[in-house]
Chain A
Amino acid sequence: MIKYNEQNISVGLCYVILSLIIGECHPFSLVDMYNRFPEKACTFYLTDTKGKLLPIENYYHYKTGDLTHNYNAICKSKNITGDNHTLTSEQLHNIGEIMMSQLGQRCFSKPLANTIQLHQIYFFLKNDSIQSNDIIMYEACNE
């Protein structure tokens, strides 16, 4: 029978302490997913110019969640904070251009649309119901 001693927990404790000190730097992580629930949540989607949804998995080796992570990474690299209420059209356009460029690298089947629109949609609560605010960030010609 193994005696309970400091070895039973030391490696785990060390990892916790080192992660809290070092922060988010692989292989250390703060594991901060869903550590808070903000008032708004945003995501992205693609449509053609008539507003018909282009499901991402049908055309790209990518998911909507990856698009959201990508958006956050781009904003962080450009030191941009805020949402589609505070960012300028130009900022959103530039971010959208980078997102579509990176998405294009993972395309396995071209969408049947001459122009693809990248939308940013925010969900929020208003009058006890869930509302959304949708804008077109970027339009890309599907060459």
Chain B
Amino acid sequence: MKPATSKPENATDIEWFYLKLSFVFVSLPLTGIMVFGGSGCPFPTGICKLYSFAPLFTPIGKPILVSVFVLLCVFYLFEIRMLLATFFLFLLSCIIISHHESNGIFYRATILTTLWGVQFLAYLRLRLNPDFDVRHFRVHYGIQIIAATYALAGIAKLRASGIDWINAGDFFSIQVIKNYAYLYFDTGSETTWQEGKTIAYFLLNHHEIIRFFLAVALMLEVFCLAATLGANMRYVFGIGLLFMHIGIAFIMGIGISVIAKPMIVFFFNPLYQSRRFIIFVNNKIRFFH
């Protein structure tokens, strides 16, 4: 198996480059926000229980940390020293997110670290075994870890509430009103607050709608590991999860979860698909001329 090179030589490498570009687009801004959003380490969690990494988060340390992260992303994009790049991206992401959560704030961005981690794993396996199919597994490991995260969400619901989770009924409306209250207290928007109350009271009087959507969401999550079994399953689950996130964002007023963006990148690679579409249209136009 020919090892991965730094220049796109075939469709797979081009596809991979667009996936990496999309993932950097998704992860870099959020990582930057978490670097500058934290202050101190009042509630140590994760790796910060061992060491606070305070020097990295000083007024001087923060810009240096972000600069190093950006530099590593450039290495990653251009397939330079991938083993080291993905390792240090994984390590820095672990530190940054742990430090941010140690402030008592939870963006639920664990998926970013694990995605760096499995890509490091793929290149490590290539280093240990030159015949390892890194072109396939550097993407597929990402799909697996995303599917695993959704599966964990489904398992958590079954462990806490059993199948009765889908019969949330009235208490679901409490969560809806709470989330729209968040938006109202953040922005002062009366319109948003009234919208939230309307949705909450509508759901209070239509338990069957809640039951249906919760059942679909639970099935998508619990069986998500099936998305690793091929492109068709991946698209089915991807579309289902996308609609789930849109539904959650609208009904519960909590926006699109952090995991949705890497899911879209690894399940669909939309930037690459857009490029293919543009090339297709260009070819058609040239043909008719």
Contacts and interface: CB of A to CB of B under 8 A. Distances in A.
A26 B185 contact: no
Contacts of A80: none
B218 to A, nearest CB: 11
B177 A123 contact: yes
A53 B137 contact: no
B113 interface: yes
B274 to A, nearest CB: 25
B175 A37 contact: yes
A69 B37 CA distance: 14
B136 interface: yes
A53 B185 contact: yes
Contact of B110 (A29, A42, A124): A29
A61 interface: yes
Given A27-B46, A105-B40, 4 more contacts: A16-B151, A39-B174, A57-B187, A123-B177
B17 interface: no
B104 A123 contact: no
A141 interface: no
Interface stretch (B23-31, B74-82, B164-172, B260-268): B164-172
Secondary structure at chain A's binding surface: helix, strand, loop or mixed? mixed
Interface string A30-41: 111111111111
B148 interface: yes
A31 B133 CA distance: 30
Contacts of A94: none
A112 interface: no
B152 A123 contact: no
B171 A39 contact: yes
A12 B144 contact: yes
Contacts of B101: 26
B2 interface: no
A22 to B, nearest CB: 11
Interface string B127-170: 00000010011001100110111111101110111000100101
